[in-house]
Amino acid sequence: MKLEEVNMFLDGKLSLPEFEEWIYKKNGLENSIGQEYYDFLISFNYNQEGAKYELKKYLLSNVTNEIEFADWKATNLLTEIGMNNSIEDYFSCFLKNPRVLKNRKTKFTQLWTSKEIEINWTNEVKQFVRHASEYKKEPDYLNLGMYDNGYIYLILNRKNELWLAYDIIDKQEYFAKSMEKAITRLILEKN
């Protein structure tokens, strides 16, 4: 179910009082979400202690779900930096325009933690290599940026899969099948 206001509340862009006001004013909401869920939202005590957390849990269990919300948020975050769903081959796109992410950052708070993630996109996308001996004329991996205070690199392979590379140890691991899914996974991580 795609109700923009529900996602905006879950994302912290709509306050509890603003969301409550929207519930009372939205015509036809009971038809969109069902009478049972509408009745719950109308009778919910928005002033009770812990109301925001309880409402968040309820909405994610009954009106939408974690994946739908995280996909919505990931799409918005990528759109903010000029990367949208119309790009089918990010790898080729970055090879043609390596400065497309220049001076961009993506900041968000994970859904169930208060941990803030900040991705510092690289000023120039280029081949990811740990050692000079790994350099190739045709790159297999591109460095897109880093997060977690620069300890974790986001790297993209030719299949447009996102991998993580760790600064401290010489290790890479598969992370997600696309940029959208990588951001979604970061939003949903609970550590």
Summarised one tens digit per residue, pLDDT across range 102-120 is 989 999 999 988 899 999 9
Gap between the Cα atoms of 18 and 39, Å rounded: 18
- Distances, alpha carbon 53 to alpha carbons 113, 141, 147, 183, 189, in Å: 12, 40, 27, 23, 18
pTM score: 0.86
* Lowest-pLDDT choice from 25-29, 32-36, 106-110, 126-130: 126-130
| Contact between 93 and 101 (Cβ < 8 Å) | no
90 plus 60 within the same structural domain: no
> Which 3 state secondary structure label does DSSP give 74?
helix
Whether 48 and 97 map to the same domain: the answer is no
- 177 shares a domain with 107: yes
Residue 11 located in a structural domain = yes
The overall average pLDDT reported for the chain is 90
The whole-number pLDDT of residue 182 equals: 93
Q: Is residue 22 part of a domain?
A: yes
Domain of residue 151, residue span = 86-188
pLDDT at 130: 67
Using CB atoms within 10 Å of the CB of residue 114, give its burial: 0 to 12 exposed, 13 to 18 middle, 19+ buried.
exposed
Q: Is residue 81 part of a domain?
A: no
Distant-in-sequence, close-in-space partners of 177: CB < 8 Å, separation ≥ 6: 160, 161, 162
End-to-end CA distance of the chain: 27
Of residues 83 and 156, which shows the higher confidence score?
A: 156
pLDDT of residue 168: 65
Does 139 score more than 70 pLDDT? Answer: yes
CA atoms 88, 135, 102, 121: torsion sign: positive
> Is 34 part of any domain?
yes
Domain count, the chain: 2
SS3 73: helix
